[in-house]
Homo-oligomer: A and B are copies of this chain.
């Protein structure tokens, strides 16, 4: 069993806080703080414009992308960084549609994170009234893939319940029907073993501020499969994706492979912070982290179900059918979460009634599980959102 004492020491967590919201914003690695200082003081401050070459700013999107690639089962040279997940969804979907010019349907599901649906709807509207976004229930996706579908756009792990799609099976089903598969790995990267290359994903996108701990608003990533990297004409054809950006040619010529998925000037400071945050993965595998996440989440579910009968499990019971978070329903979920947060146990709430707890074993341990169960028990048993015993218990732990 992996000992995570070494990785826990890499992160700052505030005194008195039990942090179970790394599925929304990961904790701060000390290395990220230090790297921000050096990229600003030593690189920007001292090198100024020379930092683009001398400090490697220009190649940072691909270099950091290669580090992400190793965590999602993608080959080197297949991932680049920048922008936000919304923009990366747009890029992936636009590219997919250009590769299936005779098809007009994009298939997604109602458990997808809304921005994926919004971005898809906006893109399709601009392409013309014959394009259509079809949104079905998560369990109906496989059956809804037919010869009209250009691309299946789904998020592997449901942001509310943690329900996990079978990524290899859905990808294979899409390919069998001639459709492309675009995977949003927002709640997967750094949480679950993902094999985008082995599973044949055509495109994969994700954010880095959750389980990858890149900081608030950290840059997103995009992976393009081998078959498409030199094919798709980018919709967002910015100068950094040009074959020779500093030739300043009037006409756009797409760069080689994944380079063409770059758009504008890279977010140097944020990329440096993320780069340092990824050092936490140097001595640990995603599989080890996932195994630890299952131990924590199983203990949490057992504890909550034993002590808090008012909470109804909203996540799949099979740990392999969910991501690294556990969701419970409660009619007063919002108030319960506010009480938890006031008492130092930070999870989050998703309307209408979901309490969400993320487990990030790089810095979460069994003591976090115990404290969260104890806090929930107090709050629900005393029927009060301001249980003194709970605060007292928090104060001594």
Q: Which residues does A use to contact B, with CB under 8 Å?
A: 12, 14, 17, 19, 21, 24-25, 27-28, 32-33, 36-37, 40-41, 43-46, 48-52, 57, 82-87, 90, 94, 98, 110, 113-115, 117-119, 121-123, 125-128, 135, 207, 209, 215-217, 219-220, 233-240, 242, 245-252, 263-271, 273, 341, 346, 348, 350-351
Contacts and interface: CB of A to CB of B under 8 A. Distances in A.
A215 B264 contact: no
Contacts of A28: 40-41, 44-45, 48
Given A17-B48, A87-B264, A114-B239, A269 B36 contact: yes
B48 A14 contact: yes
Contact of A84 (B85, B245, B251, B265): B265
Contacts of A249: 114
Contact of A125 (B114, B123, B233, B263): B233
B33 A41 contact: yes
B46 A115 contact: no
B270 A267 contact: yes
A36 B265 CA distance: 20
Contacts of A46: 14
A122 B247 contact: no
Nearest to A237: B122
Contacts of A113: 239
Contact of A40 (B32, B118, B119): B32
A238 B36 contact: no
A45 B12 contact: yes
A236 B115 CA distance: 10
A265 B94 CA distance: 20
Given A236-B86, A238-B119, A264-B87, A270 B24 contact: no
Contact of A217 (B41, B245, B265): B265
A98 B122 CA distance: 12
Given A21-B48, A264-B83, A270-B267, A248 B350 contact: yes
Contacts of A242: 114, 118
9 contacts: A21-B48, A25-B44, A28-B40, A28-B44, A32-B40, A37-B37, A87-B238, A114-B239, A217-B266
Contacts of A235: 122-123, 126
A39 to B, nearest CB: 8
Contacts of A50: 341, 346
A25 B49 contact: yes
Given A118-B237, A121-B252, A269 B263 contact: no
Contacts of A251: 117, 121
A48 B209 CA distance: 11
Q: Output the residue of A33, A119, A236, A273 with the most chain B CB within 10 A.
A: A236
Contact of A351 (B25, B122, B246): B246
B21 A49 contact: yes
B269 A85 contact: no
Given A207-B265, A217-B267, 14 more contacts: A17-B48, A21-B49, A27-B45, A36-B269, A49-B348, A82-B84, A86-B263, A114-B239, A114-B252, A119-B237, A122-B234, A135-B250, A217-B271, A269-B270
A214 to B, nearest CB: 10
A346 B49 contact: yes
